[in-house]
Amino acid sequence: MIAIEELYKNYGPKKALNGISLTVERGELFAYLGPNGAGKSTTIRILTGLTRMTSGRASLGGFDIETQVTLAKHQFGVVQQYVNLDQELTVFENLDIHGRLFGMSKRARRKKVDTLLAYIEMEDRADTLVKSLSGGLKRRVTIARALLHEPGILFLDEPTVGLDAAIRRRIWALIKKIQQQGTTIFLTTHHIEEAEFLAQRVAFLDNGRIVALDTPEHLMESVGHWAVDQFAGSEMTTSYFKTRQKANTFKAEGEFTLRRVNLEDAFLSLIGRKVQS
């Protein structure tokens, strides 16, 4: 559903993207991780037609994003990092306007809006002004809006930014539900546990290049299965082990914790800094 070949984007002498190539299969939930400035948002802006690439090729649903622009744009919905709903309109009006922009008939819009409000469990909020909704409910509405024209691809750019842990989990459940019904999802996030929980494959991006691309399980296994965190003052060092037995025999000094390896460990071992840096 998504194919990218040797994608470059230059801003003067700076290479924001430096030869990205990847494919995302139909129905796959793919996570795209990297520290700030790695090129995540630039990639999504190119794929969604907001920024022109310097060179390379990309297609969505088989349609080239530069030579078949209109057809490519009908393939996707996008949930941006910051809520961009019209605060002075109702939930229904926000969704209805989106349907009009995609040329949907009044009858088709009404039916689809009703279906999506039930889907996101907000049937009773159709006539509620958006400005009175909580952050979590606003995020659900932005996801429903992106799905209104029934796209095969959904771009999620930091979909749970600013939400507390409990609400974030509810959004995760909604994202999994969407993916299980056949939608291809391309996710960027600073919550690395979000990618570990949701994604079937993950790409690690740094300085405009993909440095690793695999399943979360394989990426974590490349580091080990168990980790020992040692604390000395404000410093922490981590050692990784293939078995718990080897971790148990490790002679840690001072305070330490024993835990399972997670996806952030794999990211740090490859890139050397956190996703949020």
Q: How many residues does the chain have?
A: 277
Instruction: Specify the pTM.
Output: 0.89
Domain boundary among 190, 218, 246: 218
| Residues 6 or more apart whose Cβ sits within 8 Å of residue 173 | none
Per the DSSP assignment, residues forming a β-bridge with 184 are 153
Residues 246, 140: one domain?
no
273 inside domain: no
Task: Give the CA distances from residue 117 to residues 4, 224, 242, in Å, rounded to whole numbers and listed in that order.
Answer: 34, 43, 47
Judge if 38 and 93 occupy the same domain: yes
Token representation of residue 145: 């809006």
pLDDT at 277: 47
Does some domain include residue 275?
Answer: no
* Tokens (6 digits) for 199: 């994604």
Average pLDDT value over all residues in the chain: 93
State pLDDT tens for residues 34-73: 998 899 999 999 999 999 999 999 999 999 999 999 999 9
Span of 27-31, 183-187, 217-221, 228-232 with lowest mean pLDDT: 228-232
Kindly state whether residue 272 falls inside one of the protein's structural domains: no
Q: Is residue 58 part of a domain?
A: yes
Q: Are residues 156 and 111 in the same domain?
A: yes
Same domain, 164 and 245: no
On whether both 30 and 87 belong to a single domain, the answer is: yes
Same domain, 190 and 241: no
Average pLDDT of the segment spanning 144-168:
90
Same-domain status, 205 and 252: no
Same structural domain for residues 195 and 251? no
As given in the structure block, the two tokens for residue 123 are 């049937």
pLDDT digit string, tens, across residues 83-105: 889 999 999 999 999 999 999 99
Determine the structural domain holding residue 109 and report its residue range.
2-218
Q: Which of 19-23, 54-58, 191-195, 209-213 has the lowest mean pLDDT?
A: 191-195
- The residue with greater pLDDT, 106 or 36, is 106
CATH number of the domain where residue 8 is located: 3.40.50.300
Task: Give yes or no: residues 172 and 206 share one domain.
Answer: yes
**What DSSP element (H or E) covers 109?**
helix 106-119
Contact 102, 151 (CB under 8 A): no
- Amino acid letter, residue 58: A
Q: What is the pLDDT of residue 29?
A: 97
Q: Are 238 and 230 in contact (CB under 8 A)?
A: yes
The band of 200, judged by pLDDT with boundaries at 50, 70 and 90, is: very high
Establish if 277 belongs to a structural domain.
Answer: no
- Identity (one letter) of the amino acid at 113? V
In a domain, 61, yes or no: yes
Tell me, yes or no, whether 130 and 237 share the same domain: no
Is the residue at 169 inside a domain? yes
Q: pLDDT band for 167, please (50, 70, 90 cuts).
A: confident
Same domain, 139 and 255: no
Longest dimension (CA), the chain: 69
Residue 56 to residues 18, 73, 102, 208: CA-CA distances in angstroms?
10, 18, 28, 14
Within-domain flag for 122? yes
Phi and psi of 31, rounded to 5°?
-105, 140
Which backbone phi and psi does 137 adopt, to 5 degrees?
-70, -40
Looking at the structure of the chain, the number of domains it has is 2
Q: Are residues 104 and 35 in the same domain?
A: yes
Rounded distance between C-alpha atoms, residue 212 and residue 193, angstroms: 17
Which token pair is 271? Answer: 């890139």
Is 83 strand, coil or helix?
coil
Q: Residues 207-251: pLDDT tens digits?
A: 999 999 999 999 999 999 999 999 887 888 999 999 999 998 887
State how far the Cα of 38 lies from the Cα of 33, in Å rounded to an integer.
9
Structure token digits, residue 275: 């996703």
